[in-house]
Amino acid sequence: MSDKKSYYITTPIYYVNDVPHIGHAYTTLACDVLARFKRLDGYDVMFLTGTDEHGQKVEKSAEKAGVAPLEFCDRVSARFQDLAQAMNFSNDQFIRTTEERHKISAQHLWNRIKENGFIYEDNYAGWYSVRDEAFYGEDELTEGEGGSKLAPTGAPVEWVEEPSYFFKLSAFQDKLLEVYENHPDFVLPKSRLNEVKSFVAGGLQDLSISRTTFNWGVPVPDADGHIMYVWIDALTNYLTAVDYPNENSEKFQKFWPANVHMVGKDILRFHAVYWPAFLLAADLPLPDRIFAHGWWTNEGQKISKSLGNVIDPFELIDTYTLDSVRFFLLREVPFGNDGDFSRTSFVNRCNSDLSNGFGNFAQRSLSMIFKNCDGKIPTPGALSAEDKALLTGIEDVLPQVRELMDKQAFNKAFDAIWSQVAAADVYISAQEPWKLRKTDPARMETVLYVCAEAVRMLAILMQPIMPESIDKLLGQMNIDNRGFDQLTDAHRIKPGADLPKPEGVFPRFEHATDEA
């Protein structure tokens, strides 16, 4: 087994009743950036994503499409895999709940919970939302048109009566409250933890965890006609991917419990209440954190198919380039808050931070070296206080960024890096190497060396968010070693190294004009 520190991060597995949209891209992007960051920081990383393919909603969607459920799942799951490729996600596994290994894992977890006395058989009668795949109490419902009843999400509900197996969720109320109390970062952001605590403190009802009115799901062991409730099946994927039920496997030993389950705020209850209760019932360790991020609106409007304003990530990439999309989504809005997607904001942010900001600094610095130093990294003289301050500032930002990434405060982490981009801009403007070329060539070479080193270090820090663009930039500089361990004065850029004519890596965008 590797002696490297381990890090296990998961996306929710995405439900295959529809094609991927910007929300799916956003969640997986956050995980991808964190996974890349941890790898560069010396960790052995497991990054998991995939698709949730069982349940009544999938069965109905397949029926509507006129195909068998598995064929429908194959088709839609492929689109999520296409998105992972298009967004350059670095996931180590893509799991599908229709895989045989997952069925074995889910049934084993069920048996273990049952053996521990937390599953019993009874009849279920209550309100169920097919769209949410969730049960709701009478007190949670609102009234819709014509006296119909709606879930808190606005989804329609129907009255369901059927034989069912139940999970003794009520037995875990105090234990869950204890978890939240003893581990205040178990759910982030803090506002979400308060929601969860309030829900659990209000009293937990036992949970119906099997269905008999349809059959597209994992069969309940030794119970003909029963299939598992989609959430106990779906959540188990996090265990399946690390070889459960083989708890002695190297993968399980190394990566369980997970460090972060990243989810949208709409599925927080399943992850922060049901999932830890299932794990406690099975005597399995709990994950370190569940992070629930916010939702995107589109130009101030709620995103919905009926409004026709669903944001297609594939179209965004075609219009604006991949790394610009990646950058904007995590830079623009505090992670955990809701955010508004505006094309004006997109163009302004990318032009300001990338094209006019870091891109401009890198292009100016490397072009001056190419023109004035025979296409080679210059040899510096003694460094001045200003030279040292710039380089030390960039070195010192890594611990800050590390701490912010560990809190999933992505935009603050990028703020910290861009504060050093601003410092580099101030430095080159103050030092004026274009004037030094005539007045003090030796000092010019020192300044340009410091600028090249600043570009190298800043680029290494930016790799997780813009891997393709930064790969091109570091490739132009012939930098092969790109881990965060290279961000010290012991690994400075080598004087005399060849520097070919640099090319810009960040495009500048124009604002779209309204057609007449």
What confidence tens digit (pLDDT) does each residue in 53-87 have?
999 889 988 999 999 999 999 999 999 999 999 99
Lowest-pLDDT choice from 149-153, 392-396, 509-513: 509-513
Q: Which stretch, 334-338, 473-477, 510-514, has highest mean pLDDT? A: 473-477
- Segment 217-231 shows an average pLDDT of 94
Q: Which of 134, 256, 273, 251 is nearest to 200 (CA)?
A: 273
513 pLDDT above the threshold of 70? no
Residue type, 307: L
354 pLDDT above the threshold of 90? yes
- Segment 96-111 shows an average pLDDT of 98
Query: Are the C-beta atoms of 271 and 290 separated by less than 8 Å?
Result: yes
3-state secondary structure string across 407-467: CCCHHHHHHHHHHHHHHHHHHHHHHCHHHHHHHCHHHHHHHHHHHHHHHHHHHHHHCCCCH
pTM: 0.93
- Where do the DSSP E strands lie in 1-43? 6-10, 14-15
- Count of Cβ atoms closer than 10 Å to residue 443 Cβ: 16
Q: Which residue has the higher pLDDT, 32 or 340?
A: 32
Q: Kindly give, in sequence order, each residue whose CB lies less than 8 Å from that of residue 489, ignoring residues fewer than 6 positions away.
A: 391, 395
Give CA–CA dist 402/396, Å, rounded: 11
Rounded alpha-carbon distances, angstroms, from residue 25 to 264, 358, 423: 12, 25, 32
Residue type, 284: L
Q: Which domains does the chain have, with CATH numbers?
A: 6-294 (3.40.50.620), 344-491 (1.10.730.10)
User: Residue 148 has what pLDDT?
Assistant: 86
What confidence tens digit (pLDDT) does each residue in 473-501 have?
999 999 999 999 999 999 999 999 999 99
Give CA–CA dist 282/43, Å, rounded: 29
What confidence tens digit (pLDDT) does each residue in 233-278 have?
999 999 999 999 999 999 999 999 999 999 999 999 999 999 999 9
User: Residue 514 has what pLDDT?
Assistant: 44
What confidence tens digit (pLDDT) does each residue in 405-438 have?
999 999 999 999 999 999 999 999 999 999 999 9
Query: Are the C-beta atoms of 232 and 278 separated by less than 8 Å?
Result: yes
What confidence tens digit (pLDDT) does each residue in 169-206 have?
999 999 999 999 999 999 999 999 999 999 999 999 99
- Segment 12-32 shows an average pLDDT of 88
User: Residue 516 has what pLDDT?
Assistant: 31
Give CA–CA dist 58/218, Å, rounded: 13
463 pLDDT above the threshold of 80? yes
515 pLDDT above the threshold of 60? no
What confidence tens digit (pLDDT) does each residue in 132-149 have?
888 888 888 988 887 789
Give the pair of three-digit tokens for residue 44. Answer: 């052995």
- Segment 289-301 shows an average pLDDT of 86
Give CA–CA dist 217/52, Å, rounded: 10
3-state class (DSSP) for residue 189: coil
User: Residue 306 has what pLDDT?
Assistant: 62
Q: In what order do the strands lie in the sheet with 339-341?
A: 301-302, 296-298, 339-341
Q: Kindly give, in sequence order, each residue whose CB lies less than 8 Å from that of residue 443, ignoring residues fewer than 6 positions away.
A: 381, 436
